[in-house]
Amino acid sequence: MRLKRNEVPIEETWDLSALFQNEDQFEDAISKAINEATIIEETFKGNIRNSTVAAQVIEAYKNLNAKLIPIGSFAQLSISVDQTNDDAQMRSSKVGQTFAKISAQLSFITSELLQLEESILLETKNKAPQFSLYIDKLIQKKPYQLHPEAEKALAAYGTTFKAPYELYNTTKLVDIQFNNFEVNGKSYPLSYNSFEGDWELESDTAIRRAAFDAFSTKLHQYQHTTAKTYDTHLKIEKTNADLRGFDSVFDALLFDQDVDRTLYNRQIDLITKELAPHMRRYAKLLQQVHGLEKMTFADLKISLDPTYEPKISIEESRNYMKDGLSIMGEDYQKMLDRAFDERWIDFAQNDGKSTGAFCSSPYGYHPYVLISWTSRMNEVFVLAHELGHAGHFYLANAKQNLFNARPSLYFIEAPSTMNEMLMANYLLANSNDARFKRWVISTIVARTYYHNFVTHLLEAAYQRKVYERIDQGGSVNASILNSLKRTVLEEFWGDTVEITEGAELTWMRQPHYYMGLYPYTYSAGLTIATQVSQRILHEGDVAVQQWLTVLKAGGTKSPVELAKMAGVDITTDQPLRDTIDYIGSLISELEDLTKELEAGK
């Protein structure tokens, strides 16, 4: 029986008091923000005519945003740990409405700034160089800016436009209740988190496949509601792209990422074609080691050597973090200590908690990490991943102003996946035992590369097919989404893996589809991380210091420039091809180690 949120040990939960000590402080902050927005409107609306006033309004807008950040973070983090909590639901709804109102109220700022002569904006940059990046991005938006009243109306609908994502989470985390499943007369509990954290990795084939069947059967009952929710989200994105004059929804969604479709398509096309043969070898190795008559989709997440994988405590995970990431230096180590000592991390497993893991890094405050701790050793890599996000923004937020701190989504997964690679490098360097080495390498393949280069990449390939349909004026429903997802899976796995019934429903499990063109960025980030981690492995502190400089740069450079600072040229195919070759070499090493271990039995 899963615990309710109020039943979990407090030491396994995060402490949100750094944001607000109590509800009264939270409500007071909302009132002050609403009042400050009104003052900005009364002071500046219709008056932004020269560079002096332009700099003043940007400064005022920045200061207000800094006050909105803890409000939004508190509401979002509260509901993410318990979607069933009525107070959290109402708080989140109130914040959404408040933010939409303020956004509409202050939409005049962008409109009036863009109505200025470009020479005045350049003059503003000279007077307030800290806002240069903000102004440059503003100028880039000019071709896609609508009439001020249209912008105000769209901003007012902000919370409504986010409704599909909220509906998706409500369906997934509140309404869907899984029944226990039975194997050989024994009953096992099932939930979203237990399936993705435990049963999907279960070494007992009968239990694992029964869990998959039970999980898929329940998803099937909600497929039409979930598909309609997603179709609504897609139509909002397409309408926005059309209204603003983008050539396609792809161009609209890639605009803020500061990359073109060449980089986007390359990740999907090259990996789908060139990684597939390597991953099919890995699937066959799993099948051989586990003695499976056939390899099914439900078997792809199992460990190569489940009897070897130790269980570890939360405190033991701390030691792994400190040791594995020690190469990042003393300041980074202090950040890791703070994360555990000050309860930045929510480890608890409880009803209504968001699935997967994430890191939220509110500007001006410390980061927060969500994870549902299962005590499996592979969770060390998940935690290292999220603390990679934390370390990134801990450094960037300290060095950059609010407008400059956040890099493009294209780059966002590089620091997180980098930590997974550093953890693997450390573990491999500290043991010559063949079985341990095989376990570490298999974890890199099964966790780091499978998750980021396969799971998320196939999501991206599927997502591209969906958007192509939407761009042509089409719609989607459950049958279409199931067909598209199954096609992608079958193309990648060929006849090596049986795409069992229910596999096509994995499109229902991923919240990333409500976050634009996000899934492909995992492989993009890991491509950069793989190359830089190899530099760190061979060059040591010189490469580490360059990487720390990149992290501190935040969003002041484009993804291409950030990668170049770290010694990687992502304008060419080479880093991606090298990374695919590296994954292939890891799988070859797993095959050799398996033969060595079996010969020694």
pLDDT in tens, 167-180: 999 999 889 999 99
Do residues 452 and 584 share a domain? yes
What is the C-alpha separation between 356 and 371, in angstroms, rounded?
7
- Model confidence at 144: pLDDT above 90: yes
- Model confidence at 452: pLDDT above 90: no
Do residues 125 and 261 share a domain? no
- Of residues 359 and 432, the one with the higher pLDDT is 359
- φ/ψ of residue 188, rounded to 5: -130, 135
Binning the chain into helix, strand and coil, the percentages to the nearest 5 are 70, 5, 25
Tell me, yes or no, whether 195 lies in a domain: no
Task: Answer for the pair 527, 259: CB distance below 8 angstroms, yes or no.
Answer: no
- Model confidence at 2: pLDDT above 80: no
Do residues 285 and 138 share a domain? no
Rounded to an integer, the average pLDDT of 567-585 is 94
Phi-psi region of 477 (alpha: psi -120 to 50; beta: other; left: phi over 0): beta
Instruction: Write the CB contacts of 105 (distance below 8 Å, at least 6 apart in sequence).
Output: 37, 38, 41
Among 116, 138, 161, which residue terminates a domain?
A: 161
pLDDT in tens, 507-520: 999 899 999 999 99
Q: Where are the alpha helices (DSSP H) in 298-365?
A: 314-324, 330-341
Exposure on the CB side of residue 520, measured as CA atoms within 13 A: 27
- Model confidence at 102: pLDDT above 90: yes
Do residues 257 and 390 share a domain? yes
Q: Which domain holds residue 114?
A: 5-161
Nearest to 75 by CA among 27, 145, 125: 27
Among 145, 161, 177, which residue terminates a domain?
A: 161
- φ/ψ of residue 181, rounded to 5: -120, 155
- Give me the pLDDT at residue 37, please: 97
Do the bridges between strand 368-370 and strand 358-360 make them parallel or antiparallel, or are there none, so unpaired?
antiparallel
Do residues 529 and 411 share a domain? yes
Tell me, yes or no, whether 40 lies in a domain: yes
Tell me, yes or no, whether 192 lies in a domain: no
Rounded to an integer, the average pLDDT of 477-500 is 97
- Model confidence at 589: pLDDT above 80: yes
* pTM attached to this predicted model: 0.90
Do residues 600 and 477 share a domain? yes
Tell me, yes or no, whether 508 lies in a domain: yes
**How many structural domains is the chain composed of?**
2
Do residues 289 and 151 share a domain? no
Among 140, 161, 182, which residue terminates a domain?
A: 161
Do residues 144 and 268 share a domain? no
- Give me the pLDDT at residue 447, please: 82
Do residues 265 and 134 share a domain? no
Mean pLDDT over each residue of the chain, to the nearest integer: 94
What is the C-alpha separation between 587 and 580, in angstroms, rounded?
11
Look up the CATH number of the domain holding residue 467. Answer: 1.10.1370.20
| Alpha-carbon torsion (139, 144, 147, 150), positive or negative | negative
Residues recorded for the chain: 601
Exposure on the CB side of residue 19, measured as CA atoms within 13 A: 29
Tell me, yes or no, whether 194 lies in a domain: no
- Model confidence at 400: pLDDT above 70: yes
Tell me, yes or no, whether 423 lies in a domain: yes
Tell me, yes or no, whether 495 lies in a domain: yes
Do residues 454 and 306 share a domain? yes
pLDDT in tens, 440-451: 899 899 888 998
- Model confidence at 314: pLDDT above 80: yes
Do residues 450 and 557 share a domain? yes
Rounded to an integer, the average pLDDT of 50-60 is 97
Window from 35-39, 133-137, 305-309 with minimum mean pLDDT: 305-309
Rounded to an integer, the average pLDDT of 91-103 is 94
Tell me, yes or no, whether 410 lies in a domain: yes
Task: Answer for the pair 526, 267: CB distance below 8 angstroms, yes or no.
Answer: no
- Of residues 436 and 391, the one with the higher pLDDT is 391
565: amino acid identity, one letter = M
- Model confidence at 601: pLDDT above 70: no
Do residues 432 and 305 share a domain? yes
Look up the CATH number of the domain holding residue 155. Answer: 1.20.140.70
pLDDT in tens, 223-256: 999 999 999 999 999 999 999 999 999 999 999 9
Task: Answer for the pair 600, 592: CB distance below 8 angstroms, yes or no.
Answer: no
- Give me the pLDDT at residue 1, please: 61
- Give me the pLDDT at residue 113, please: 96
- Give me the pLDDT at residue 451, please: 86
What is the C-alpha separation between 107 and 145, in angstroms, rounded?
11
